[in-house]
A and B are shown apart, each in its own frame.
Chain A
């Protein structure tokens, strides 16, 4: 009997064990958030198609270098969070705080560069009320910046928590926080080309 069941089903080790990192509720929130942003992307493209000249002229007033550097910062930060999680999974918890600290540094630098960019706009007399393009620019980048601020707070908590992490501890909280931070990176990956590069 036991021999029959062993031959009729594949060995357990050959089955792929599927696992959603972190808490399922975080993923539900993330997808809801991503849908909201996707609707804004579509709305931006539609309004752009109604006033191409204005949107193109306004786009040229954006600082491409700061936007590009910010993209590289968030990508690097995301990669560092992956390394921190790997350190926790591979029972090397002493490395995790270092990676979280570096990731947090990238996140904070993003905020500083964004503040410089906003300041440049205000100095040039550009505000959310200037035109439709800048309304989208300030609303979408402002909403994203809010996510970055929350993400930095989460990274700071994970950094603090990881200082006392031991091999074998649960990593669900770390996975949830990391997933949120990756979403922040993901949204900027879409937002940056839309505002700065579509011509």
Chain B
């Protein structure tokens, strides 16, 4: 089971992974490459990762959310490499008996992924390229 891919993400496949007959709700979250960031134009994003550690950290996020929201079924897939505008960078599928848990689990997963998983993005635009998050630390 890998949570990382170098290929376009098929969100419908993640939905099929999580859905059970007892589920009454499925929340699909897609992170998508947009054409702007902090007022600057973005033309593409390159995603890099410490792959084996990123796999472990995503696994930890999923386990922690499953503990917080018992009964929710979760699938996560993050894409790496060069992505264009409109491409899906991450899909999170959460299925539950009721919508409240599915929404909350989905939100918790993306928030925790952004905090702990060693994945980086370099934005490219007409003004050059920049690793997101690095300049702000100077």
Chain B associates with chain A: no
